[in-house]
A and B are shown apart, each in its own frame.
Chain A
Amino acid sequence: MPEMTMHDFPDPQHDPSGSHAAQSLGDTLRWAFELDSSPAIAGAAFLTREIIPAAKDPFDAIIAASTTQHQLEDLKNAYKMLRTTGATAPERSLAARLYAATIAAALVRHGAMISRQNPFTLAKAFEEMSADPEMPERIRELGPLAIDAMGRIK
């Protein structure tokens, strides 16, 4: 483990009370221990904040007018991987919806196609996203708008 040695950890000789060490270690440990009770959205929420730190949640990040095409592409790639690496079936299922939503948002907000999937596959994904009662209304509304936008781009 050449990149990380004990010197990377807080040295009690310089911090005998361990107060600085305690803060960083507490943060790391709390994160680890809280994972067991994470809801299905936890993974997507983490990925969203990694890409857009100020994002409230994945849905707002996708919908927000301030989200750039570049960020939507990053979100798309992150959710794409979460579709297969998600810890639970609900998490993977949500990731699939969010993946489609990022492509839809890029079409609607930026007039850009950020996927190489064929149009029929995309249209089907948008329809399923719009029909999913577990998706927020603002995400479901993207579906038909994205299908329209896709038609214009062709």
Chain B
Amino acid sequence: MRDHSNPSMTQTNWDLIRDAASGSTTAKSSLDAVMKRAWPAVYAYIRATGRRSEEATELTQAFICDVFLARHLLEKADQSRGRFRTLLIGAVRNYLADTHRRATAAIRAPKSSLVAIDAMSESGFDMTSDGSRSSPERAFNARFVAGLIRAASERLQRELESEGDHASWEIFRLRVLQAAFQGSAPGYDEIAPRLGIERGACAAKLLVAKRRFAAILMDELRATILDPNDLQHEVSELLSFLEGR
């Protein structure tokens, strides 16, 4: 029996996709777990192609239903046996192209209106709202990594608090997450008295928490690939995207 209460700890994305398409008794919860992971990145990609929020939401839902439920992604997953991120981003790109072709065919639009979306399919991700290079792919990857960080953070909190070490989680949350995502973090002079710990001990607890977070993050990323040898490549590629290279 699979542990669907906490899929990230026990299952790779591939396990979940296969189970979602299998028609098993756990298929629905597997599908929910995959959708929860994929939704933000897919939505970010679609938004970054210049579509409005409502349209992006509808397309994301449609993508999830058409591609996941129709089992197309599963078939490709079995063929490629590769990286979930790469597969997903290609699937979204193709889905948007197909959707656009269907829509324009239905209204008998002039052929010129297909040029931009076709160019996106053929040459990469060049069609964006502002014409900037790879914007949808960057948005997708930023959201994908945000999902990884979120999953790793939630798991770190669960683990530390189950060990009765709320202080380490709190220091990590304030000094790392708040600093990264809100741009500011309280100093140890403020944190230490609140937690009843010496300042130096706070720093040492943060080191332990950061290392544990790093290990969990790698574990989460490992869940998105099939071949362990792909891990370093996946890391390098994600960092390159995030650094704009």
Task: Please report whether the interface of chain A is mostly helix, strand, loop or mixed according to DSSP.
Answer: helix
- A87 to B241 Cα, complex, angstroms: 30
Residues of chain A in range 19-35 having any CB-CB distance to chain B below 8 Å: 19, 21-33, 35
B182 cross-chain contacts in A, Cβ below 8 A: 8
Taking a contact as CB atoms under 8 Å apart, the answer to whether B198 and A74 are in contact is yes
Tell me which of B22-30, B108-116, B142-150 binds A.
B142-150
B201 cross-chain contacts in A, Cβ below 8 A: 77-78, 80-81
Q: Quick check: is A111 within 8 A (CB to CB) of the other chain? A: no
Q: Quick check: is A39 within 8 A (CB to CB) of the other chain? A: no
Tell me which of A43-51, A59-67, A123-131, A140-148 binds B.
A43-51
Taking a contact as CB atoms under 8 Å apart, the answer to whether B203 and A47 are in contact is yes
| B159: min CB distance to chain A, Å | 12
Taking a contact as CB atoms under 8 Å apart, the answer to whether B53 and A74 are in contact is no
Closest Cβ neighbor of B146 among chain A residues? A9
Taking a contact as CB atoms under 8 Å apart, the answer to whether B242 and A13 are in contact is no
Chain A interfacial residues counted at CB < 8 A: 44
- A73 to B201 Cα, complex, angstroms: 10
A23 cross-chain contacts in B, Cβ below 8 A: 242
Closest Cβ neighbor of A87 among chain B residues? B211
Taking a contact as CB atoms under 8 Å apart, the answer to whether B213 and A32 are in contact is yes
B129 cross-chain contacts in A, Cβ below 8 A: 16
B130 cross-chain contacts in A, Cβ below 8 A: 17
Known contacts A1-B157, A22-B242, A33-B235, A78 near B203 by CB under 8 Å: yes
B47 cross-chain contacts in A, Cβ below 8 A: 12-13, 16
Select which of B40, B139, B180, B243 is within 8 A of A16 by beta carbon: B139
Taking a contact as CB atoms under 8 Å apart, the answer to whether B204 and A82 are in contact is yes
Select which of A18, A32, A77 is within 8 A of B138 by beta carbon: A18
B145 cross-chain contacts in A, Cβ below 8 A: 25, 29
B199 cross-chain contacts in A, Cβ below 8 A: 51, 74, 77
Pairs across A and B, CB under 8 Å, 11 listed: A4-B150, A8-B177, A13-B53, A16-B47, A18-B48, A22-B142, A22-B241, A25-B146, A28-B149, A43-B207, A74-B199
A residues neighboring B (CB under 8 Å): 1, 3-4, 6, 8-10, 12-13, 16-19, 21-33, 35, 43, 46-47, 50-51, 73-82, 85, 87
